[in-house]
Amino acid sequence: MINNGKYPSLSSKQTLNHITLPNRIVFPPLNVNYANTDGTVSDKLMKFYTDLADGGCGLIITGAAAVSYDSIASDRGMRIDHDGCVPGLKRLFSGISRRGSIPGIQLIHCGRQAANSATGYDLLAPSAIPCPVMSRLDPAYGVREMTPDDIRMVRSDFIDAALRAADSGAGVVEMHAAHGYLLNEFLSPYSNHRSDGYGGDAYNRARLVTEIIEGIRDDISRIAISVRVSGDEFVDGGLTPPDFEEIIPLFEDAGMDMLNVSAGVYESFHHDRLERCRISA
Ligand SMILES: Cc1cc2nc3c(=O)[nH]c(=O)nc-3n(C[C@H](O)[C@H](O)[C@H](O)COP(=O)(O)O)c2cc1C
């Protein structure tokens, strides 16, 4: 067992909404690219996560699962955008729960950081500003500003995905609003130049995430809701820690139970071997 008695708090329980974590050890979302090619749960993915549960992890949040057909991050990433994903998720979450851990799943729309060649569509973003990294790597790269209908669609995709997760036995759903993906793009003045109710001040930029949290909370009372943010984007004009003094209370008022803080966007990550990731035309 991980805790040898030296750190008693590590093995203390933690309550998130109606969910009780058996200890304070959390495995963060990690896209291991072990899903089947259709994004459903494979035996390899199942073994990866159930081994972590056997190791005594209190909460296991799976790698990011795509909430819609145009939000795919990689060809072996998980998906949760249709009901065909549910049987595999049920098997995965019950395997984790049976071992005493709480299963969680991260929900993602990749926004302007998806690869067009993977999606086949122009990428959705709050504003038509290309991602400086992906536009260099992908010859087919194209991005467009989301219409109000697009925003409604993405909001319901996240809420539907959370419902699927809850129906499949997840205790926690996490919105991926970090690392420069779509929800992060809305939060940030670096990537969101909109002039409607979803752009401008922090309240408006946070609106899509708060509406998703409220929509999930209205439909599912039991599940714990987490949001992952990049506390500092490390780009000129991007989000820095003081910006979150205004944003986080909005998430809390909407019904967030847990905050997961990471950092950076694609442009601020280290890119020593970026050229190896170039996508062939
Ligand atoms: C291969 C790989 C895949 C990752 N996938 C995700 C992901 O799906 N969602 C996410 O929020 N973070 C993802 N991350 C970031 C990790 O959750 C974590 O924040 C990062 O590895 C830093 O870990 P550390 O805080 O222990 O240094 C990924 C990291 C790696 C290396």
Give the helix/strand (H/E) hosting 59: strand 59-66
* Residues facing 103 on adjacent strands: 60
Ligand 1 neighbourhood includes 263 CB (under 6 angstroms): no
Cα distances (angstroms) measured from residue 198 to each of 195, 231, 264:
7, 20, 22
Distances (CA, A) of 115 to 98, 100, 106, 148, 206: 37, 37, 19, 23, 25
Top-confidence residue, 170 or 115: 170
Cα 64 to ligand 1 centre (Å): 10
Overall average pLDDT of the 156-184 stretch: 98
Q: What is the mean pLDDT of the chain?
A: 93
Rg (CA), the chain: 18
Check if 126 has its Cβ closer than 6 Å to any atom of ligand 1.
no
Instruction: Tell whether the model's pLDDT for residue 81 goes beyond 70.
Output: yes
pLDDT above 80 for 277? no
Determine if ligand 1 sits within 6 Å of the CB of residue 31.
yes
- Residue 269: the pLDDT is 83
CB 28 less than 6 A from any atom of ligand 1: yes
> Which of 25, 31, 67 is the best mutation target for the ligand 1 pocket, counting ligand atoms within 8 Å of the beta carbon and taking the most?
31
Count of beta carbons in the 10 Å neighbourhood of residue 178: 27
pLDDT digits (tens, 9 = 90+) for 55-70: 999 999 999 999 998 8
Residues that are catalytic: 181
Distance 28 CA to ligand 1 centre (A): 7
- Give the pTM: 0.95
Question: What integer pLDDT is reported at residue 73 of this predicted model?
Answer: 72
Ligand 1, atom 15, lies closest to the CA of 30
Ligand 1 centroid from CA 171, angstroms: 20
Query: Ligand 1, closest atom to CA 179?
Result: 11
Q: Which ligand 1 atom is at minimum distance from the Cα of 77?
A: 8
SS3 220: coil
Residue 17 · residue 104 · CB < 8 Å: no
- Contact status, residue 233 vs residue 266, Cβ threshold 8 Å: no
- Is 101 within 8 Å of 21 (Cβ atoms)? no
Residue scoring higher pLDDT (213 or 5)? 213
- Atom 4 (ligand 1): residue with closest C-alpha? 30
69 in Cβ contact with 114 (< 8 Å): no
Environment class of residue 55 by beta-carbon count within 10 Å: exposed (0-12), middle (13-18) or buried (19+)? Answer: middle
CB of 63 shorter than 6 A to ligand 1 = yes
* Overall average pLDDT of the 149-158 stretch: 98
| Contact 50 CB / ligand 1 (< 6 Å) | no
Residue 8, CA distances (Å) to 12, 13, 106, 143, 161 in order: 7, 11, 28, 50, 36
Q: How confident is the model at residue 271 (pLDDT cuts 50, 70, 90)?
A: low
| CB 113 near ligand 1, within 6 Å | no
Residue 280 predicted with pLDDT over 70: no
* Helices 86-98 and 148-167: angle between axes, nearest 10 degrees: 50
What the block records as the tokens of 230 is 């990049």
* Structural domains in the chain, sorted by start: 24-277 (3.20.20.70)
